[in-house]
């Protein structure tokens, strides 16, 4: 089985990365680092970091991800090498996306996974919450999710399905702040805001989703699926619709739940944020470092996979699911089984 390779995050202003034999060398003003390439599955660069053309070529050849983010963590570009993978698989994917019933079924499987995982998170938060003022809304929302899962099975078309999702998501974010236990005055959550995030929670959510989306794109690319041809998300120029579909089932596990953990454990504190003109809120360099360290640790935690019946690192789950998705698209299995975290 595939090893979860490490991801290297470079956020030091003015760093320069280059290839030296089989190693990656990093020059910064303070000190130099050297890593063997075979330890790295991906490189994420923040802001003003340069990388030598030969290193880019090498990463493209090896299928190692290189992702450029702005200094605030918004996605800018990613390295994409030669078109690889099985053309027959991609053709099967296109055919399935042309077929209305096929698209609806696939979207249902994916959404069911998301709803199920969200419900688990709500139930768990409900159990852990202290006091009725938090417990009751969380339990009510979990009950609504049970209903949504039921409705999702009976949906007749995509619009109906997206309606169910939208309604469920809205009620989820309405009770989101009941799951926050530390520094509630600063980490208050009213509504989801993006581009730009308008409060610390939204800044964290957006950042986590950016990291997760990149991993899902990489997972799709890795098995030879076209990350842009999606089912639940509509196809739009430049939008990685399939990767976003795949991401739905992990969003609450590696995104929301993770963000709540770093806040509730006091790992991320109110002074880890800076306000920018126009009401935007961003993480400081230090805060970003804490966040990324926790994220990497989280990805190494092993979780049980219901279908494989073994424990795998959380970071590997998107790759495993992409493989299961490919199997389903190819017609080897009758249904796609989303990842459910127990």
Partner 1 sequence: MSRFDILVTYDVNTETSEGRKRLRKVAIACQDYGQRVQKSVFECRVTQSQYEKLSHRLYKIIKPNQDSIRFYKLLGGRENCVESFGVDTFVDFDDPLII
Task: By CB under 8 A, name the binding residues for partner 1.
Answer: 1-3, 6-12, 15, 21-23, 26, 28, 33-40, 289, 292-293, 295-297, 300
Cβ-based nearer residue to partner 1, 44 or 122: 44
Annotated binding residue 233: yes
Quote the least distance from Cβ 342 to partner 1, whole Å. Answer: 26
Instruction: Give the residue with the Cβ less far from partner 1, 44 or 213.
Output: 44
Dihedral of alpha carbons 27, 30, 32, 37, sign: negative
3 state SS of 67 = strand
Residue 165 is labelled as binding a ligand: yes
Q: Which is nearer to partner 1, 4 or 104 (CB)?
A: 4
Of residues 211 and 243, the one with the C-beta less far from partner 1: 211
**Beta carbons within 10 angstroms of residue 213's beta carbon:** 19
Closest approach, Cβ 104 to partner 1, in A, equals 38
Residue the block writes with tokens 């034999």? 21
221 appears as a binding residue in the annotation: no
CB nearer to partner 1: pick between 7 and 193: 7
**What b/e sequence results for 12-49 when a residue is b if at least 16 CB atoms lie within 10 Å of its CB, and e otherwise?**
beebebebeeeebbbeeeeeeeeeebeebbbbbbbbeb
CB of 55 to partner 1, least distance (A): 14
Return the sign of the alpha-carbon dihedral for residues 265, 207, 276, 170: negative
Query: CA–CA separation, 264 vs 125, rounded Å?
Result: 12
Shortest Cβ distance from residue 39 to partner 1 (Å)?
4
Q: Are 80 and 43 in contact (CB under 8 A)?
A: no
In whole angstroms, give the CA distance from residue 316 to residue 254.
Answer: 12
CB 2: neighbour CB atoms within 10 A? 12
Show the tokens assigned to 220: 């799709």
Q: How far is the CB of 268 from partner 1 (least distance, A)?
A: 15
Residues making up the annotated binding site for Mn(2+) are 165, 233, 248
Residues making up the annotated binding site are 165, 233, 248
């Amino acid at each position: 089985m595939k090893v979860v390779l490490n991801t290297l995050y470079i956020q030091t202003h003015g760093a320069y990365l280059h290839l030296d034999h089989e190693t990656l060398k990093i020059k910064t003003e303070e000190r130099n680092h050297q890593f063997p390439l075979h330890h790295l599955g991906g490189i994420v660069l923040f802001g003003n970091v340069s990388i030598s053309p030969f290193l880019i070529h090498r990463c493209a050849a090896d299928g190692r991800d290189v992702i450029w983010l702005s200094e605030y963590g918004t996605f800018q570009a990613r390295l994409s090498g030669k078109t690889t993978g099985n053309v027959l698989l991609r053709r099967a994917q296109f055919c399935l996306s042309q077929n209305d019933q096929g698209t609806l079924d696939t979207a249902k499987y994916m959404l069911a996974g998301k709803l199920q995982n969200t419900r688990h998170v709500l139930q768990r938060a409900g159990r852990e919450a202290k006091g009725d003022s938090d417990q009751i809304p969380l339990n009510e929302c979990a009950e609504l999710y049970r209903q949504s899962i039921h409705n999702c099975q009976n949906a007749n078309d995509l619009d109906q399905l997206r309606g169910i999702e939208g309604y469920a998501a809205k009620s989820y974010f309405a009770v989101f702040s009941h799951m926050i236990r530390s520094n509630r005055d600063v980490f208050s959550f009213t509504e989801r805001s993006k581009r730009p995030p308008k409060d610390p929670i939204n800044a964290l959510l957006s950042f986590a989703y950016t990291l997760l989306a990149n991993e899902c794109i990489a997972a799709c690319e890795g098995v030879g699926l076209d990350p842009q041809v999606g089912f639940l998300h509509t196809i739009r120029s430049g939008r990685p619709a399939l990767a976003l579909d795949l991401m739905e089932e992990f969003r609450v596990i590696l995104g929301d739940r993770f963000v709540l953990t770093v806040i509730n454990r006091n790992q991320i504190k109110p002074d880890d944020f800076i306000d920018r003109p126009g009401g935007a809120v961003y993480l400081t360099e230090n805060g970003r470092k804490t966040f990324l360290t926790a994220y990497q640790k989280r990805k190494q935690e092993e979780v049980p996979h219901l279908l494989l019946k073994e424990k795998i690192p959380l970071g590997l789950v998107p790759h495993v699911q992409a493989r299961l998705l490919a199997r389903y698209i190819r017609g080897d299995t009758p249904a796609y089984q989303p990842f459910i975290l127990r």
